[in-house]
Structure 1
Amino acid sequence: MDSTDELKTKQIQIELDEKVGTGEYSNLVIVTHSPAEFILDFTQVMPGMPKARVRARIIMAPLHVKTFAMALSENIRKYEARFGDIQVSKDEWAREFGIKLPPGTVPD
């Protein structure tokens, strides 16, 4: 069997324990990076609250972040094809959370 056939037949068994399976709600992700890694801090911002708590921190290698971004883009494309465009507005963030987003964070 050549390496292409091996890649097609290998499967990874992924376990999802009960605690992780319940999930964490996040409505804001802070992304930072160094030359070696990307850090994604998933936070939950509550209207009128001055603090947001990091619910989960995910640290990924650049290659894995790139493939994650590609998978996310593909899934957003499929979602919008089925349910319509996801509207993103700076005004909505400012009104709902009192947050001024940095330039380039969301489209105008």
Structure 2
Amino acid sequence: MSDEKKPQNPKGKKGQINIELDETVAQGTYSNLAIINHSVSEFVVDFVNIMPGTPKSKVKSRIILTPQHAKRLAKALNDNIKRFEKAHGEIRDYEQPPMPLNFGPTGQA
């Protein structure tokens, strides 16, 4: 055995991840529609911003997740919605007419 010490992170916690948030990513992208497709090995979530009176919209961001991460995301969203509603009241889900989405065939991996 050598006398060298194993490096530790500043707080001495094992398994801690250092995550950077780029300035342009930190500004975020607005989305009022999410389109979700899945295959056996992945979930694909396309975030779209549809504006009234605009005949065409583009996908602003696409996130690809493993099924396990998709399930964790769904659980985390559900937990956060419950906490939000406890603090601010129920989020109303307004009825909207179905939107025809013709983005081509569903995705496959």
Task: Report TM bin, short chain.
Answer: 0.7 to 0.9
Tell me which of the two structures has the higher relative contact order, counting C-alpha pairs closer than 8 angstroms and 6 or more residues apart. Answer: 2
In the other structure, the counterpart of 2:62 is 57
Query: Structure 1 regions of 5+ residues with no counterpart?
Result: 1-7, 102-108
Alpha-carbon distance, 1:100 to partner: 5.8
In the other structure, the counterpart of 2:5 is none
Alpha-carbon distance, 1:27 to partner: 0.6
Q: Does 1:23 align with 2:28?
A: yes
Alignment of structure 1 residues 1-108 onto 2, 5 Å: 9-90=14-95, 93-94=96-97, 99=99
In structure 1, what is the Cα distance between the partners aligned to 2:100 and 2:39?
24
Percent of pairs identical after alignment?
Answer: 47
More helix by percentage: 1
Query: Larger C-alpha radius of gyration, 1 or 2?
Result: 2
Query: Structure 2 regions of 5+ residues with no counterpart?
Result: 1-12, 102-109
TM-score (norm: length of structure 2): 0.75
